[in-house]
Amino acid sequence: MPRGIRENLVEDVIRIVNLAETFRDDTAAHGDPETTRERFNDMVVHLSELMSAMIASPLTGRIFLHPPDAYVDTETREASLEENFLKRV
């Protein structure tokens, strides 16, 4: 999973769930013990990375919420800037 300061931990969880669903739905691999073992190892690695990210999140700034620009449109941001900052300057 690519790591970046701007990504949040919820996106990591979604990627892991999608990976688990892909592994679950690949019925051809269920009969091969080696492939199954490799996939479980992949899951352990991804979950370990997630755990590390969660522990370090206060230091790295990776949080559980989307950044404001993900849900606030440009017009609202500009209006807020105008109302809260520029009028006071």
Q: Is residue 65 part of a domain?
A: yes
Q: How far apart are CA 87 and CA 45, in angstroms?
A: 51
User: Are the CB atoms for 23 and 32 separated by under 8 Å?
Assistant: no
- pLDDT given at position 37: 83
Q: Is residue 2 part of a domain?
A: no
Parts of the chain with a pLDDT under 70: 1-7, 29, 61-68, 88-89
Q: Is residue 4 part of a domain?
A: no
Q: Which domain holds residue 31?
A: 9-86
Q: Is residue 70 part of a domain?
A: yes
Helices (H), 1-89: 9-25, 33-60, 74-81
* Mean per-residue pLDDT of the chain: 77
Q: How far apart are CA 1 and CA 49, in angstroms?
A: 9
User: Are the CB atoms for 8 and 64 separated by under 8 Å?
Assistant: yes
Q: Is residue 1 part of a domain?
A: no
Counting the structural domains of the chain, the total is: 1
Q: pLDDT of 44-68, one tens digit each?
A: 888 888 888 888 877 776 665 666 6
Q: Is residue 60 part of a domain?
A: yes
